[in-house]
Amino acid sequence: MYILACQGARYNVPFFFQGFHLKRDLERLITEALAALQREGVLSIDTLPTVQIERTRDARHGDFACNVAMVLATTSRIKPRELAERICAAIPAATFDIVEKVEVADPGFINFFLKFDLFHSAPAEILKKKEKYGRSNGGQGKRVIVEFVSANPTGPLHVGHGRGAAYGDAVANLLEAIGFNVHREYYINDTGRQMDILGLSVWLRYLERCGELIEFPINAYRGDYIKDIAIALHKKEGTSLCRSADVVMQGVPPEIDAEAQLDRLIEQAEALIGKEDFRKVTDLAIQAMLEDIREDLAQFGVEFDEWFSERSLVGSQAVEKVIDRLKKGRHTYSEGGAFWFKASGFRDEKDRVLVRENGQPTYFALDAAYHLDKFNRHFDRMIDIWGADHHGYVPRLKAVIEAMGEDREKLDVRLVQFVSLYRGQEKVQMSTRSGEFVTLRELREEIGRDAARFFYILRKSEQHLDFDLQLAKSQSSDNPVYYIQYAHARICSVMRQMEQKNLRWDPDEGVRNLSKLTEPHENALLATLILYPGLVEDAAQSEEPHQLAYYLRELANDFHTYYNAHQFLVDDEPLRDARICLIQATGQVLRNGLGLLGVSAPEAM
């Protein structure tokens, strides 16, 4: 067995607690060794591979392991074990202070055994930093705008919107945790045809309230919330906006298709009550929906720094500024009465219309203006979180950003896949106009905010999510959020038991006696705790909060295993103090991690 023993530490404080990222530094050690072998000609490869470090499943094989020797064996023409030994020999042993030894094991694994003191320094540091443990300044105060949810205010938020809300808020929390200055923004789509359809839907329900018999259009918004807004309109305006059903339907031939019928009805409404009053109806509907959305998100634990109105772009010459920039770069042309952007010259599949034949800007033009506004607000990084059905929109938006002379790489678009909600074996269908959908509010009331938020981020955002209501409501170890929260509640229960038994816990004595924590279950828990700061950084930088969710599940499992195997309130006072230090540190990390996901840490369950 090949063993490399690393020489003594160079720091008074463990390097880990000076901002150390455990797995990354182990990866750096291997990468430096590979680079040395490459320079010596031992490795005849042009590009060094990505090195991955993983936790070992068996403590006899160390704390962490690397399989890079097996990955490189074929291209290097060196047997895996022999290559692993050469890599170990090239590790700069005297320059690293956390590794006790490195072993090579068949068929070519490189196993790291970390220093005993490193593990036992973790609880003291956690209890000292408390809620700041795991936070860092890697972002250096750089400004990041995270725009998410941004659902059209045409109906209540449904369960699909909830996933974007939970994901976006968790990403924003993680970025703040590593030192970014985060601005949360909701983009209100309060112009265009959908808003006209919303206003029309409310007005037609208002006419019904006035006693008119209306054949309600199949493609209008049909939910009960439309009737509620119509009732509010009737209370405010009385019958002043009422017109007879026969007059309303004049000029709307029954043989035209459903969408054309809506357009004719909008024209009729504007003609019969005037554009100004129709605008008032639409504005009343928009404000009612926005108030509902704001309240719904607040109850879900999501708050925004700014609600950005699309209308503000229409009235501020914002689209004209986009067109001016594109014209100066000679990236536009006119054809067929419309004004076009040469998007195909910037890696988009085809050119895009900016201004329609009727002189109205397209949604794309408004989106370009909105993102130019973001650049003008001097954000260092921009994250847009969209539904998966917008995937084809990303290239054209990046194209126009580049054409306007801005850095397209500053924009990161994250797509959130669809959610399928199941009640037993029945899949619930959702349609905003028909009103046949399950709202986020209904989901939250059924399973609770904590379960909803946690389950939403259990998968990568780009993966489809089947939402299991029965599992989310269950009180069992199969339910991950319950399992994690129960670990925290158990820790609080131990503290209550200690008080009931009139036992005293001395944190300082506990810290001084952490070396007494030698049981395998204790070592496993300690090893998981020290991963937390690096895990937070990885989850933030990759915009993947599911990494944190799985980490908390692992931490809870380590605690429950420890809890079931050992007594904490033992007669040996120094050992008791040390064990209480360990579980208190565990509770702190559970609270910190759950907080970043927007989930509570109950003291009793």
Instruction: Supply φ then ψ for residue 129, to 5 degrees.
Output: -85, -25
Least confident of 7-16, 92-101, 490-499, 512-521: 7-16
Least confident of 11-20, 33-42, 415-424: 11-20
Residue with the bigger pLDDT between 19 and 299: it is 299
Given this structure, which CATH class describes domain 3-114? alpha beta
pLDDT > 90 in the chain, percent: 79
Where residue 309 falls (left for φ over 0; alpha for ψ -120 to 50; beta otherwise) is beta
At 253 the pLDDT is 87
User: What confidence tier does 94 reach under pLDDT thresholds 50, 70, 90?
Assistant: low
**pLDDT (average), residues 184-195:** 96
User: What confidence tier does 344 reach under pLDDT thresholds 50, 70, 90?
Assistant: very high
122-135+476-596 placed in CATH 1.10.1750.10: no
Q: Which residues of 302-323 are buried (b: 16+ CB within 10 A; e: fewer)?
A: bebeeebbbbebbeeebbebbb
Reported pTM: 0.90
Residue with the bigger pLDDT between 316 and 10: it is 316
Please state the separation of Cα 323 from the chain's center in Å.
33
Q: Where are the domains of the chain?
A: 3-114, 122-135+476-596, 193-295
Pick the most confident of 24-33, 290-299, 390-399, 423-432: 290-299
Can you spell out the DSSP letters for 288-330?
HHHHHHHHHHHHTT---SEEEETHHHHTTTHHHHHHHHHHHTT
**3-state SS assignment for residue 471:** helix
| Per-residue pLDDT at 16 exceeds 50 | no
Sign of the C-alpha dihedral computed for residues 414, 417, 418 and 423 taken in this order: negative
358/193 Cα distance (integer angstroms): 14
At 1 the pLDDT is 39
| Per-residue pLDDT at 515 exceeds 60 | yes
Going across the sheet that includes 64-66, the strands are 3-5, 99-105, 109-114, 64-66, 53-55
User: What confidence tier does 436 reach under pLDDT thresholds 50, 70, 90?
Assistant: low
The structure tokens listed for 579 are 């064990």
* Residue 3 exposed, middle or buried by CB count within 10 Å (0-12, 13-18, 19+): exposed
**pLDDT (average), residues 543-550:** 98
SS (H, E, C) 200-245: HHHHHHHHHHCCCCCCCCCCCCCCHHHHHHHHHHHHHHCCCCCCCH
The structure tokens listed for 177 are 């945790």
At 374 the pLDDT is 98
455/307 Cα distance (integer angstroms): 26
At 10 the pLDDT is 27
342/346 Cα distance (integer angstroms): 8
pLDDT in tens, 144-181: 999 999 999 999 999 999 999 999 999 999 999 999 99
Least confident of 266-275, 423-432, 590-599: 423-432
| Per-residue pLDDT at 274 exceeds 50 | yes
Q: Which residues of 236-256 are buried (b: 16+ CB within 10 A; e: fewer)?
A: ebeeebbbebeebbeebeeee
Cβ partners under 8 Å of residue 298, min gap 6: none
At 3 the pLDDT is 42
Question: What does DSSP say about strands 338-341 and 53-55: parallel, antiparallel, or unpaired?
Answer: unpaired
The structure tokens listed for 98 are 């956390």
